[in-house]
Amino acid sequence: MSESPLEITKAFQIENLKERVVFRFFEMVPGLLAWLTLFLAFFLSKIAPVGVAFFIIVFDLFWLLRIIYLSFYQVISFKKLQQNLKIDWFRKLQDEYPDSWQNIYHLITPPTYNEGAEIIAASCEALINCNYSKDKMIVVLAIEERGGEKAREIANQIQNKYGHKFFRFLITVHPKDLKEEVAGKGSNVAWALKKTEEEIINPLNLLVENIIISNFDIDTKPYPDFFAILTWNYLNTLFPLKSSYQPIPVYNNNIWDAPAFSRIIATSGTFWQMMQQERSEQLVTYSSHSFPFKVFTEIGYPAKIVSDDSHIFWKSYFFHNGDYRVVPLHYPVSMDAVLAPGLYPTIVNQYKQQRRWAWGSENIPYLLYNFLKNKKISLREKIRHSIIILEGFWSWTTSALLIFFLGWLPLAFGGDQFNVSLLSYNLPRLTSNMMTIGMIGMLLGAAISFSLLPPRPPRYGKLKSLSMLLQWLLLPITLIFFGSLPALDAQTRLMLGNQLGFWTTVKTRKR
């Protein structure tokens, strides 16, 4: 018997041939859309340059309006973030929920593979510095058997130094080579949660409805009032057990040390999450996020997929027949920008990290397949979500290439007849002017990013601050080489059935 549609993540898991073919087609859709777009851009530039020229103008105008539209949301979200940083959320929580908040426990599950003790210790210090009762915090350090004795030694050091400062501190060891698992964060967290339930939750008879899981990356350092604002939102939400909770990731742990391209990519990720916080109907869990322990008892945690952070949302969404949402916190957690020992390794790591994130397109076949299977979700909702996720991954792959290259294709392939036309003369000027206006969004982003920076380390001079502004001139290059290309790589692999494993990004910080 085939598995439940909720458990299907790859076509080969489906026994029914017809359904397996349908799922396999859905796996091909993102790559097919991307390659078809790029092929038509070149092909039509030769046979129909006038049509392509008008398309270019409309496309660039669309993106100009979209930049203005998203910048508006970015400013609103940034203001809310600033306001929330000024509020004493723990005091607010105690005043508004004087009894209820004391029933809530926070389970933090940072998974680690080969990170050094300094990375893990910094994250533990951030937890200790939070303005929240530590006797309501359970920390589960999830290590990998693949990490060997060194991982165990580091975990024991951390437990000896910090374990007594929390309500409970548990070390779990995820066995290697478990059947049907994808080795990585998701399978490690799934194992850690099972062990936590067996060794802490059940023996202490803790109510799962009163436990919030914060699924943090090992480098995640929450800002001081994170758990207070999380608890407040949990108690203030109409359906807390049918909601996940998403902070805004900022990459401030090592932002001053990272190279310019890494800083741009990290900050762009922050901006996108800020915009999505204002469009909560489109918000999906990303990287470090929180959800009720009740969700784990209902559906488990994804262990067979690379993009577990977003998959847990979609799995919960379908389990509740569409009645599940993400609550935006408008509050930051700090993480690491990509930084390896040396420029070339950093470039490689950045590309592979972006490719892993773009591998989130593996959720597209899951989404479309479950929409076919689920009869309780309205057709309108199915269409809306399908369009959003398809357009999102299509834009990720193609937009930068179309914006920066498409404008020249009709001139290069359109022939002499097109090149002597008035349209060919004005096309580069029109597109250039629209993109220049669009730079307003980049300048706005630069200003906001500068205001989010932590204090400049003493080892850097004022020129380093200037570089934080000038770095945005590299945006077009980074959008192509660390945006479109790794996304196209990931979607092509999915289209061809070439599965991508979990890439653990190297964590490096300068002292």
| Structural domain contains residue 137 | no
CA 185 to CA 195: how far, in whole Å? 15
Q: Mean pLDDT throughout 428-453?
A: 77
Q: Which pLDDT belongs to residue 86?
A: 97
CA 454 to CA 197: how far, in whole Å? 37
Q: Which pLDDT belongs to residue 2?
A: 57
CA 180 to CA 350: how far, in whole Å? 28
| Structural domain contains residue 208 | no
Nearest to 112 by CA among 123, 104, 103, 101: 123
Q: Mean pLDDT throughout 335-354?
A: 94
CA 283 to CA 389: how far, in whole Å? 11
Q: Mean pLDDT throughout 266-273?
A: 92
Q: Which pLDDT belongs to residue 425?
A: 62
Span between the terminal Cα atoms of the chain, in Å: 55
CA 447 to CA 74: how far, in whole Å? 12
CA 111 to CA 354: how far, in whole Å? 20
| Structural domain contains residue 267 | yes
Q: Which of 114-118, 175-179, 423-427 has the lowest mean pLDDT?
A: 423-427
Cβ neighbours for 464, distance < 8 A, ≥ 6 positions apart: 256, 456
Q: Which pLDDT belongs to residue 303?
A: 93
Q: Residue 108, SS3?
A: strand
| Both structure tokens of 175 | 């066995």
pLDDT digits (tens, 9 = 90+) for 58-106: 888 888 888 888 889 999 999 999 999 999 999 999 999 999 999 999 9
% of the chain beyond a pLDDT of 70:
97
CA 182 to CA 193: how far, in whole Å? 16
C-beta of residue 211 within 8 angstroms of C-beta of residue 107: yes
DSSP state of 111: B
CA 18 to CA 24: how far, in whole Å? 10
C-beta of residue 338 within 8 angstroms of C-beta of residue 348: no
| Structural domain contains residue 78 | yes
CA 25 to CA 5: how far, in whole Å? 16
Tell me the pLDDT band of 375, cut-offs 50, 70 and 90. very high
Task: Please give the residue range of the domain that contains residue 453.
Answer: 1-86+263-284+338-511
The pTM (predicted TM-score) of the whole model is 0.93
Q: Mean pLDDT throughout 383-394?
A: 96
Q: H/E element holding 331?
A: strand 325-334
Q: Which of 11-15, 48-52, 507-511 has the lowest mean pLDDT?
A: 507-511
CA 414 to CA 416: how far, in whole Å? 7
Tell me the pLDDT band of 412, cut-offs 50, 70 and 90. confident
CA 300 to CA 3: how far, in whole Å? 15
Q: Residue 247, SS3?
A: strand
Q: Mean pLDDT throughout 234-243?
A: 97
| Structural domain contains residue 41 | yes
Tell me the pLDDT band of 456, cut-offs 50, 70 and 90. very high
DSSP state of 375: S
| Structural domain contains residue 63 | yes
pLDDT digits (tens, 9 = 90+) for 120-173: 999 999 999 999 999 999 999 999 999 999 999 999 999 999 999 999 999 999
| Structural domain contains residue 292 | no
The total domain count for the chain is 1
| Both structure tokens of 183 | 């080795």
At residue 1, does pLDDT exceed 50? no
Q: What is the mean pLDDT of the chain?
A: 92
- Strand order, beta sheet including 168-174: 168-174, 137-144, 105-108, 211-215, 289-292, 243-250, 325-334, 221-222
Q: Which pLDDT belongs to residue 420?
A: 67
| Structural domain contains residue 241 | no
Alpha helices in 359-484 (DSSP H): 363-373, 379-405, 409-413, 415-419, 422-452, 462-470, 475-479
